[in-house]
Amino acid sequence: MGSRDWCPMERVLAIRIHRGTHEVGGTCIELAADGERIVLDAGMPMTPPRRCSDLLPDVPGLWAEGDGSLRGLFISHPHPDHYGLADLVDDDVPIFMGPRAQAVLRESSFFIPWAPAFPPALPLEHRVPVELGPFTVTPWRVDHGAEDCFALLVEAAGSRVLYSGDWRGHGPHPETVEEIVANVGRLDTLLVEGTRIEIGGDDHHISPTEAAVEQACVELIAAARRGVVAFASAQNFDRLDSLQRAAHAAGREFVLDLYAASLWIASGRPRDAIRVFATRPQRRRIYETEAFERTRAVRDLRIFPEEIAERPEELVLCLRTSAVHEIEDTGVLLDADVIWSMWEGYLQGESMASTRQVLRRNGARVSFIHTSGHATATDLEAFVRRVDAREVVPIHTRSPHICAGTFPGARLRTDGEWWDVAREPEGHACTA
Ligand SMILES: [Zn+2]
């Protein structure tokens, strides 16, 4: 472990970031105190490492039977770059994650069987501390678009460390940031995400806030004369909420495909706010697995191609792009308004060539209406200034050096480096 420069014999909390000091995704942080350890996040990297053996960070006891000193794994939120390796974790290591996040991932794994299945986990709740050996871990709700997203406060050996997780200040719950700033108290170390700290700054094509996204959708749908089709992530619940409210404001019904509808219902959202369209691959999956209870459960909400063909101007369909060929047959895309509510570059990529072709030949008008799930550089800097932390370590960033120039008190670390959290020395008597 790193040297302890202020009091060599003192009990300390030590940290190492396995992945994330200079990349977005694959986050994994290990903390040690009193001979025991915990891990925050076991994420899948966005780009696979060059060597297969580099995929799993070198955390003793995380992927294989250990000596019992690893007390638990805490998942900050249900995105693969934070939980994607959790299915490989040894059965003896307890995993913690928000209950609604778990419910959504369970549903998701039925429709995406090749994606990593999330193992059974213990619940995390906003501001309910979990005590494990010398560690007290308290989740603080943050706004990141998905269900149960948390910043994690770790207290051990007299030190206090806050890991921000992924968050934003321009979503529907800015009060979550205010709650942390006002109540989290004095920190020794803040591990803060810096996803949008980039050379060249923020993307100009995205809306400033989630509220602006909703307003743009309200205006577009109100002005639309024929079908409206939206493409958005089924796990971006803030976005589905925005689209659903915008559809209803225009007096249209909001239609989700069976996959997104199952996640919507699992998240506890009202089933009577949606209609359900089961796409061909989704129906095939139901037949293959004989999971007919899934279609029975939404029987009263189902919408079929004939109805979509009859009244496209009374509907907003929110679907996967894989369904474009199928819905083209209903005529809903003809002269339609299309809301692309994801990263713009995704539509321009090679994998979307046939989607673009279908939209073009139907004369569909595509509008990009989107905002990021991550805090702007301005909000990140303001957060760091307002949180009372003695040391600030950027994580989940491609640009650590720009973070160092932006965040007051920033200290850059490297992947795999252990360091001791230097505690407030005030009032401390070192007897060593
Ligand atoms: Zn992330």
DSSP calls for 108-134 = HHHH-TTSPPPPP-EE--TT--EEETT
Asked if 239 and 263 sit in the same domain, the reply is yes
Give the structural domain span for 109.
14-200+373-420
Amino acid sitting at position 94: P
* Region of poorest pLDDT, from 26-30, 154-158, 198-202: 198-202
Query: DSSP readout, 20-80?
Result: -SSSSB--EEEEEETTEEEEE--PPBSS--SSGGGSS---TTTSS---S-EEEEE-SSS-H
Q: To the nearest whole number, what is the mean pLDDT of the chain?
A: 92
DSSP symbol at 106 = H
Question: How many whole angstroms from 126 Cα to the centroid of ligand 1?
Answer: 19
Distance of alpha carbon 274 from alpha carbon 205, whole angstroms: 29
What CA–CA distance (Å, rounded) separates 190 from 393?
A: 6
Distance from residue 26's CA to the centre of ligand 1 (Å) = 8
Is there a single domain that holds both residue 406 and residue 381?
yes
Ligand 1 center to 24 CA (angstroms): 6
Residues 297, 233, single domain; the answer is yes
Distance from the alpha carbon of residue 146 to the mean position of ligand 1, in angstroms:
11
In a domain, 143, yes or no: yes
Report CA torsion sign: 120, 261, 214, 369. Answer: positive
As a whole number of angstroms, the distance between CA 71 and CA 31 comes to 10
Q: Please give the distance of CA 164 from its chain centroid, rounded to a whole number.
A: 12
Residue 141: CATH number of its domain: 3.60.15.10
pLDDT digits (tens, 9 = 90+) for 229-284: 999 999 999 999 999 999 999 999 999 999 999 999 999 999 999 999 999 999 99
Mark whether 270 and 150 lie in a shared domain.
Answer: no
- Is residue 255 domain-shared with residue 381, that is, in the same domain? no
Banded pLDDT at 5 (limits 50, 70, 90): very low
23 Cα: distance to centroid of ligand 1 (angstroms): 10
- The pocket of ion ligand 1, defined by CB under 5 A, consists of 81, 166
Domain annotation covers residue 279: yes
Local structure of residue 410 (DSSP, 8 states): B
Judge if 225 and 276 occupy the same domain.
yes
Q: Distance, CA 29 to ligand 1 centroid (Å)?
A: 13
Residue 78 has pLDDT above 80, yes or no: yes
Shared domain for 403 and 278, answered yes or no, is no
* Residue 380 alpha carbon to ligand 1 centre in Å: 15
**Predicted local distance difference test score (pLDDT) of residue 26:** 96
pLDDT tens digit sequence for 89-100: 999 999 999 999
Query: Residue 254, SS3?
Result: strand
Look-up of token digits 């001979």: 35
Q: What is the distance in A from the centroid of ligand 1 to the CA of 393?
A: 16
Which tokens sit at 208? 């400033």
Spacing, Cα 45 to ligand 1 middle (Å): 10
Q: What separation in Å is there between the alpha carbon of 61 and the centre of ligand 1?
A: 24
pLDDT at 322: 94
User: C-alpha distances in angstroms, 248 versus 40, 168, 312, 316, 342?
Assistant: 40, 26, 14, 9, 21
What is the per-residue pLDDT for 51? 85
Distance 288 CA to ligand 1 centre (A): 33
- Counting the structural domains of the chain, the total is 2
Residue 415 lies in a domain: yes
Give helix 377-386 / helix 175-183 axis angle, nearest 10°.
Answer: 20
Asked whether residue 228 carries a pLDDT value surpassing 80, the answer given is yes
Q: How confident is the model at residue 200 (pLDDT cuts 50, 70, 90)?
A: low
Let me know whether 53 and 100 are in one domain: yes
CA of 81 to the centre of ligand 1 (A): 5
Counted residue by residue, the chain has a size of 432
Averaged pLDDT, 51-78: 93
Confidence of residue 2 (pLDDT cuts 50, 70, 90): very low
> How remote is the CA of residue 25 from the centroid of ligand 1, in Å?
5
Please indicate, yes or no, if residue 432 is contained in any of the structural domains.
no
Q: What is the pLDDT of residue 204?
A: 55
In a domain, 8, yes or no: no
* Euclidean distance between CA atoms 274 and 332, whole angstroms: 18
205 occurs within a structural domain: no
Q: Could you give the percent of the chain with pLDDT greater than 90?
A: 86
Across the range 397-419, mean pLDDT stands at 94
The C-alpha atoms of residue 216 and residue 219 are separated, in whole angstroms, by 5
- For residue 312, the CA-to-ligand 1 centroid distance in Å is 37
- In angstroms, rounded to a whole number, what is the distance separating the alpha carbons of residues 372 and 82? 17
What is residue 340's predicted lDDT score, i.e. its pLDDT? 97
How many angstroms separate the CA atoms of 184 and 186, rounded? 7
Looking at 345, 368, 391, the residue that finishes a domain is 368
Give the per-residue pLDDT at 106: 92
- Global pTM? 0.91
In a domain, residue 5? The reply is no
**CATH number reported for the structural domain that contains residue 323 in this entry:** 3.40.50.10710
Q: Are residues 195 and 223 in the same domain?
A: no
Cα(184) to centroid(ligand 1), Å: 22
CA 414 to chain centre: 24
Do 332 and 214 belong together in one domain? yes
Give the range among 16-20, 26-30, 204-208 with minimum mean pLDDT.
Answer: 204-208
Verify that 177 and 229 share a domain, yes or no: no
Mean pLDDT over residues 181-186, rounded?
96
CA distance 43 to 60: 16
In the chain, count of helices (H) and strands (E)? Answer: 14, 19
Instruction: For residue 161, report the phi and psi dihedrals to the nearest 5 degrees.
Output: -125, 130
Q: Separation of 360 CA from ligand 1 center, angstroms?
A: 33
6 within some domain: no
Q: In this predicted structure, what is the pLDDT of residue 432?
A: 37
Domain check: are 391 and 310 in the same one?
A: no
**pLDDT higher than 60, residue 402:** yes
- Statement: residue 9 has pLDDT above 90: no
- In angstroms, the CA 298 to CA 296 distance is 5
pLDDT, residue 199, reads 64
Residue 201 banded pLDDT, cuts 50, 70, 90: low
pLDDT at 150 over 90: yes
CA angle, 59 then 62 then 65, to 5°? 115
Q: How far is the CA of 18 from the centre of ligand 1 (A)?
A: 14
